[in-house]
Amino acid sequence: MSNKVKKVLLVGPILSNSGYGEHARCVLRSLIRNIEKFDIYIAPTSWGATSTDTRDTPENKFIINCIKRTQQYKEGKYDISLQVALPNEWKKIAPINIGITAAVETDRCNPEWIRNCNEMDKVITISEHASTSLTKHAYPLQDKQGNHVGTLSCENNPKVIGYPVKEYIPDDFSKNLNISEKCFLSVAQFAPRKNVEALIRSFVEEFKEEEVGLVLKANMVTDSIIDRRNTSQLIGQMLKAIDPKDKRKCKIHLLHGRLTEDELHSLYSDPRIFGYVTTTHGEGFGLPVFEAVYSGLPVIAPTWSGYLDFLKAPVVNETSGKVRSKNLFLKTRFELKPVDPRAIMQGIIIEGSQWAYIDEKHFKKNMRSLLESPTSYRNDAKILQEHIRNKFSEEKIYSKFLNEILDSLGSHPDLAPKPGLDEDDFALFKTQNL
């Protein structure tokens, strides 16, 4: 790669309060840590009906400036594009194009996505599960007469790069909540994939005679007051169906609306929270699970999908002295079955795909086990926390992104990025000409 600064176009929902928004910001942060090598432009996209991050932070100011300069850049030519999106949205818009995606939570992707993957110079995805959803299945190709003419398969082996651990100082938000002394925590949207109904049903049926709580950070679509009302009403309807007489002692504590990352992390560190629980059908990565893990919180989850990448750690066998990789969470049994027809999404979740359906009886058993015998699970969680904080450190994750980008540009310097962002990183933008 020449010493010339490379023009980089980052396409993605950079200001969205969503997983893909965080993914796009992760890519941006890797670029910023070696900003002297890149001339950064940003083309923002939306992500469904998710809200926009409008905070007046140095990073957001930098993003807005990059968006403005992109709009003013009349020549419109770039050395490389980094496109954070579903594969069907990727385009060949520069000499070198990298598609970055969390893919899909089911066992297979839309076949059309494979064509898009093969057209990119490189594909980066978020987990081994997401990678497998793109590469595991092949599809027969036919001509107009129905004759077999070949096979469609992913020829572009995806690179897997997860999210980095973030450092936070939890504030007093959680301390001021009027919640039960013994609580489970879950963060989820009321969407078919999250399977929140099974979570609420299992929790209430198991603890209806006990003063146990479920802190549920949830919404349906947005963070609005109307959405809060609708979310609360939906939970009420579920509870009425599960417990018509409304005599339960257990409580569901609904948290709704935008939380700062410090506020959210205060939940993970609250001593009243015994563990993080999920009944999800599948996750491309599972960012809230990840945050719980690197905060040292025990996790109960199905043994399926993206979060398996960070729920295991090397452990020394006390008898043999051998080191082996061990799952350090409460594993919930599941069945892999076809996706509910109501969850089919045109062009995304396709008919014939499968995902996980938990064994609710086993999930209840795991909740009971964690609540009554927390010590060993907390010890496992601490071992996992230490391992993940090292494996997914900012330095290592941003280095991986940088090296994949620079490799695509023909350079292999194995850069060591800065350990953190500061005002100078953002100020350096001012030296770049509009």
Q: How confident is the model at residue 424 (pLDDT cuts 50, 70, 90)?
A: low
* Rounded-to-integer distance, Cα 32 and Cα 70, Å: 17
Residue 429 has pLDDT above 60, yes or no: no
Give backbone dihedrals phi and psi of 376, rounded to 5 degrees, phi first: -65, -35
pLDDT, average across residues 122-149: 90
Length of the chain (residues): 434
CB neighbours of residue 370 within 10 Å = 20
Instruction: Quote the CA–CA distance of 303 and 335 in Å, as a whole number.
Output: 10
Amino acid at 428: L
Q: State pTM to two decimals.
A: 0.90
Amino acid at 28: L
Compute the average pLDDT of residues 210-219: 97
Give the pLDDT score at 411. Answer: 63
Q: Which residues pair with 21 in a beta bridge?
A: none
Tokens 């194995």 map to which residue? 414
**Nearest CA among 131, 31, 32 for reference residue 81:** 31
Question: What percent of the chain has a predicted confidence (pLDDT) above 90?
Answer: 76
Residues 21, 13: contact at Cβ < 8 Å? yes
Backbone angles phi, psi at 282, to 5 degrees: 170, 155
Read off the pLDDT band of 196 (50, 70, 90): very high
CA–CA distance, 9 with 118 (Å, rounded to integer)? 20
β-pairing, 6-12 vs 38-44, is parallel
Q: What does the pLDDT look like over 308-335, one tens digit per residue? A: 999 999 998 877 888 999 999 999 999 9
10 Å CB burial of residue 415 (0-12, 13-18, 19+) is middle
DSSP string, 11-58: EE-TTBSSHHHHHHHHHHHHHHTTGGGEEEEEEE---TT--B-----H
Q: Is the pLDDT of residue 432 over 50?
A: no
**Residue 433 pLDDT:** 33
Domains of the chain, start order:
6-164+394-431 (3.40.50), 174-391 (3.40.50.2000)
The DSSP call for residue 48 is: T
SS3 248: coil
Measuring CA to CA, how many Å separate 432 from each of 5, 203, 336? 10, 55, 51
> What are the pLDDT digits (tens) for 54-96?
788 899 999 999 999 999 998 889 999 999 999 999 999 999 9
β-pairing, 299-302 vs 273-277, is: parallel
Q: Long-range CB contacts (< 8 A, 24+ apart) of 337-340? A: 339/106, 339/281, 340/192
Q: What is the mean pLDDT of residues 362-387?
A: 97
To the nearest whole number, what is the mean pLDDT of the chain? Answer: 91
In this model, does residue 427 exceed pLDDT 60? no
Cα atoms in the Cβ-side hemisphere of radius 13 Å centred on 132: 14
For the stretch 230-280, pLDDT in tens is 999 999 999 999 988 888 999 999 999 989 889 999 999 999 999 999 999
- Break the chain down into helix, strand, coil percent, rounded to 5: 40, 20, 40
Q: Which amino acid is at 109?
A: C
**How many Å apart are CA 65 and CA 427, to the nearest integer?**
11
| Distance, CA of 215 to CA of 185 (rounded, Å) | 5
Q: Is it the case that residue 169 has pLDDT exceeding 50?
A: yes
Whether residue 50 is predicted with pLDDT greater than 80 in this model: the reply is no
State the pLDDT confidence band at 103, using cuts at 50, 70 and 90.
very high
Nearest Cα neighbor of 38 from 69, 62, 8 is 8
How many Cα atoms sit within 13 Å of 342 on the Cβ side?
A: 4
- Give the pLDDT of residue 434: 30
DSSP conformation class of 348: T
The three-state secondary structure class of 315 is strand
Helix (H/G/I), strand (E/B), else coil: 384: helix
Average pLDDT over residues 24-29: 96
Q: Which residue has the tokens 């209430």?
A: 204
Burial profile 180-205: b = 16 or more Cβ within 10 angstroms, e = fewer: bebbbbbbbbbebbbbbbbbbbbbbe
| Mean pLDDT on 208-235 | 95
